Structure formats: structure tokens, C-alpha cells
Amino acid sequence: MSLWRCAIGDCEARFEDVESAIVHQTNEHERHECQVCGTVVPEGYFAIRHAFDEHTRAEYVRSYDADSSAVRVRESVKDAIEKEVDLRAVVDQLDIEQPV
Ligand SMILES: [Zn+2]
Ligand SMILES: [Zn+2]
């Protein structure tokens, strides 16, 4: 079976399930500051989700100096994750607290 790979920076951590990969990205990596709005979000999946759920592709391309193929890659990763992920299982394992 294929493994999920973290892929943040030069991190090569691999995981059998997507939930573990997201927990790793959230707990083990530095937070990411959104280049569009300055919100600090967990690196990895949550950063991608924030960028594409909260901002338009045009904003993303402009702020991240990205091109359309970079956008497509991230959108396809996001889709692949969202087909499999049980976000409740992820949230249960995170050492972050929800804003109140
Ligand atoms: Zn990693
Ligand atoms: Zn943002």
C-alpha cells in the first residue's frame, strides 16, 4: 500500500493513514503564517485548507508567487486527503485547543 508522506520542507516522514500524517504536521512542525491574511495556522494540510477555503486562487497565486500548476497540485492533495480523512480522529489527537 502507498504511504502518505509529510513533504513539509525536506521532511520525509511517512504514515499509513492520513490522520497520522496530519497530526504529525500539526504537532511536529512550526506553524505557518498565511501569506494572504496573516492568520497563523498549522503547517501542511490545514495550511492548504485555509488557503483554498478562505482565499481565492488569484489571491493565493499573488501572495505565494505560485503558478497554476502549483495551485492544481495543492488542490489535488487537498481532494485526496478529504476523500479519506476522518477529521474528528485528527482533532482528538492534536495538542491544540479550539478558539473559544
Ligand atoms: Zn513532517
Ligand atoms: Zn489566510
Residue 99 resides in a domain: no
Give distance in angstroms: CA of 45 to centre of ligand 2.
Answer: 14
Amino acid making up residue 70: A
Q: Which ligand is nearest to the CA of 36?
A: 2
What's the grid cell of residue 45?
A: 494540510
Give distance in angstroms: CA of 49 to centre of ligand 1.
Answer: 17
Structural domain for 71, as ranges: 4-93
How many domains does the chain divide into? 1
**Vertex 28, ends 50 and 82: CA angle to 5°?**
40
The answer to whether 50 and 41 have CB atoms below 8 angstroms apart is yes
Residue 98 resides in a domain: no
Q: What is the sign, positive or negative, of the torsion defined by CA atoms of 13, 73, 56, 79?
A: negative
pLDDT of the residue at 2: 82
pLDDT < 50 regions, the chain: none
Query: Whole-structure pTM over 0.85, yes or no?
Result: yes
Residue 100 resides in a domain: no
* C-alpha to C-alpha distance for 83 and 39, rounded to whole angstroms: 26
pLDDT of the residue at 31: 95
**Residues in the 5 Å CB sphere of ion ligand 2:** 34, 36-37, 39, 54
Look at residue 23 and give its three-state secondary structure. helix
Q: Which ligand is nearest to the CA of 13?
A: 1
pLDDT of the residue at 6: 95
